[in-house]
Amino acid sequence: MAARKPKVIVTRKLPDPVETRMRELFDTQLNVTDTPMSKAELAEAINRADVLAPTITDRIDARMIERAGPQLKLIANFGAGIDHIDVDAANARGITVTNTPGVLTEDTADLTLALIMAVARRIVEGANVAQAGEFMGWAPTWMMGRRITGKRLGIIGMGRIGQAVARRAKAFGLQIHYHNRKPVSSRIAEELEATYWESLDQMIARMDIVSVHSPHTPATYHLLSARRLKLLQPHAFLINTARGEIVDEGALADLLKAGAIGGAGLDVFEFEPKINPKLLGLPNVVLLPHLGSATVEGRIDMGEKVIINIRTWMDGHKPPDRVIPSMM
């Protein structure tokens, strides 16, 4: 007799190849409407599933985990970020949490460079003028942006994505600076010709562009506070493709509106999906709807990692992308 397939509940619609393979391998319940689950629906799912496959739109806190059925042994997150899951509470219940690191590195780095270019060269402003039929012809001093070659880029968080951004930025002639918990290896620093700053305050006060690539943790909440944002130079740009909670969004909006900093490119927001209304309509900010990982290839790769984590767990082994609780 064939072994029982685990009950896997997927909370959002995933790419068709991923869903098809999950149906082949597991007793999978899909979310065909792609409507985010309510708290009640998520509680019901976590009570029935052997494996829950959530996304960043699902908040799985300690209270939610308390409602989990005894059979739930794995939360296989579709995404690299796990700040929406109480990993410590899951571990206390004997529930393993996995994520999908690595596969989004290149996509997020590409989007970061796109935002740098869009903000510096006022691409969205220009596109809106052309689309509205308001282009009146070339003029020597109209719609002037900033050259990025030769500028200083300060990267906050020099992990996989930060390093991928640095490699792209170096090819564009940017000078690489970074702040991290510790310096990268001498090999990487030499390759990127990167300057390490132990003091975040000292770094951001000297940069032309600052790009955020830290995870969201209690320690990084409002890492770019109102005080720190005021250290940015008047011509500087801020780029955030990490997590919205890292930046004091209200303070940033006030500085942008006052022209106290040059501009910003944001793919993530503090109260996502809500966007601070003070940001809307500002000419010096480019707003994107969380597109960092939104490539066909990236999303399929994420799904394949979810499948590998589930199958490894089924075989009685530790999944390769197991998230280690902070208490350990």
Catalytic (active-site) positions: 243, 272, 290
Residue type, 200: L
CB 173 within 8 A of CB 148: yes
Structure tokens at 149: 């070659």
CB 194 within 8 A of CB 166: yes
The span from the CA of 239 to the CA of 205, in Å, is 15
Measured CA distances, 303 to 83, 103, 311 (Å): 19, 10, 12
Residue 255 CA, distance from chain mean position:
23
The span from the CA of 95 to the CA of 31, in Å, is 23
Q: What is the DSSP string of 81-128?
A: --TTB-HHHHHHTT-EEE---STTHHHHHHHHHHHHHHHHTTHHHHHH
